[in-house]
């Protein structure tokens, strides 16, 4: 099988002790391609280091590094963030832009003591939009795909994207959770949509129905590992010492479940997702 993880965070500090075990597990699970996203300036050297060492150590695994400032990290950026981001992208023509985006949940619904947001200044939406548009413009200027995070701000996202310009190769709405009605207008602008294993939890009925409507030529699959844990029966892989972390090898099970959801054979789904992944993330 040739499974492609359209969105993960293998450079996250929480995964660092597990990296030597993760790569063989990915290969054993049939995972051949991964997009590794950086979300803040401190992440970017680790993403670059992984991308540099994997080709020699694991020739069967292809990494697309991706560099960006996540909306959660927007408020804590340094004065030189944009210059640094430009340097990382210029240094690797295969690198993508992301994870970037808009997040209203952080402002309106997140608890004041959410540990995932500890120490972060929560940037207001106009500031998030400004930083998002700056990074989108960089993706356009360098002809790179972009990976977008959006929670509770899909109207503003559509409006921002419609103002353009947009990356000619398209962009990924990772773990898309907007409405069915917005799928067509986003797709018309070049969107791809990645299904996450966390959406297999019984309560996510709406999200599974949503992913039955995504055009097949725009469908991708992702883990967001170590975040977004799939429910236990769809998470056969786990870290014994850190069961709260999502193991990226769980991607294979997500493919199987999505094939059932879309009433496709696993091999048909795998072939079409690989073609979509190649079109968006890999240069012809
Ligand atoms: Zn992510």
Query: pLDDT tens across 132-142, in order?
Result: 999 999 999 99
What domain range is 175 assigned to? 3-281
Q: How far is the CA of 72 from the centre of ligand 1 (A)?
A: 11
The domain total for the chain is 1
Q: How far is the CA of 10 from the centre of ligand 1 (A)?
A: 10
Q: How far is the CA of 9 from the centre of ligand 1 (A)?
A: 6
The predicted-structure confidence for 38-70, as pLDDT tens digits, reads as follows 999 999 999 999 999 988 888 889 999 999 999
Q: How far is the CA of 58 from the centre of ligand 1 (A)?
A: 23
Q: How far is the CA of 269 from the centre of ligand 1 (A)?
A: 23
Q: How far is the CA of 23 from the centre of ligand 1 (A)?
A: 19
User: What's the pTM?
Assistant: 0.96
- Residues 7-36 as b/e (b if ≥16 CB within 10 A, e otherwise) read bbbbbbeebeebeeebbeebeebebbbbbb
Residue-level pLDDT at 107? 93
Q: How far is the CA of 38 from the centre of ligand 1 (A)?
A: 8
Residue-level pLDDT at 217? 98
Query: How large is the average pLDDT for residues 21-47?
Result: 96
Q: How far is the CA of 149 from the centre of ligand 1 (A)?
A: 7
Query: How large is the average pLDDT for residues 159-184?
Result: 96
Query: How large is the average pLDDT for residues 235-250?
Result: 94
Q: How far is the CA of 37 from the centre of ligand 1 (A)?
A: 7
pLDDT at 283 over 80: no
CATH number of the CATH domain containing 174: 3.20.20.140
pLDDT at 1 over 80: no
């Amino acid at each position: 099988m040739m499974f492609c993880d359209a969105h993960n965070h293998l450079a996250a500090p929480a995964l660092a002790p597990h990296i030597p075990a993760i790569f063989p597990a990915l290969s054993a699970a049939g995972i051949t391609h991964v997009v590794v996203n950086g979300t803040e300036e401190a992440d970017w050297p680790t993403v670059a280091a992984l991308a540099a060492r994997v080709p020699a150590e694991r020739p069967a695994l292809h990494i697309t590094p991706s560099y960006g400032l996540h909306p959660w990290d927007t408020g804590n950026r340094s004065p030189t963030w944009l210059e640094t981001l430009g340097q990382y992208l210029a240094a690797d023509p295969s690198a993508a832009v992301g994870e970037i985006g808009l997040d209203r949940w952080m402002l309106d619904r997140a608890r004041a003591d959410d540990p995932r947001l500890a120490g972060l200044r929560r940037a207001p939406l106009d500031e998030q939009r400004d930083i998002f548009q700056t990074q989108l413009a960089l993706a356009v200027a360098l002809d790179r795909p972009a990976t977008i995070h959006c929670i509770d701000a899909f109207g503003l996202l559509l409006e921002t994207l419609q103002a353009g310009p947009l990356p000619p190769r398209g962009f990924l709405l990772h773990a898309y959770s907007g409405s069915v009605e917005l799928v067509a207008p986003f797709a018309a602008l070049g969107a791809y949509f990645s299904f996450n294993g966390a959406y297999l939890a019984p309560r996510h009925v709406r999200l599974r129905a949503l992913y039955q409507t995504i055009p097949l030529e725009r469908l991708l699959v992702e883990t967001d590992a170590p975040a977004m844990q799939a429910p236990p029966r769809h998470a056969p892989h786990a870290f014994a010492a850190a069961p709260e972390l999502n193991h990226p090898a769980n991607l294979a099970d997500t493919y199987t479940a999505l094939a059932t959801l879309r009433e496709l054979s696993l091999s048909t789904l795998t072939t079409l997702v690989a073609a979509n992944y190649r079109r968006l993330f890999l240069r012809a």
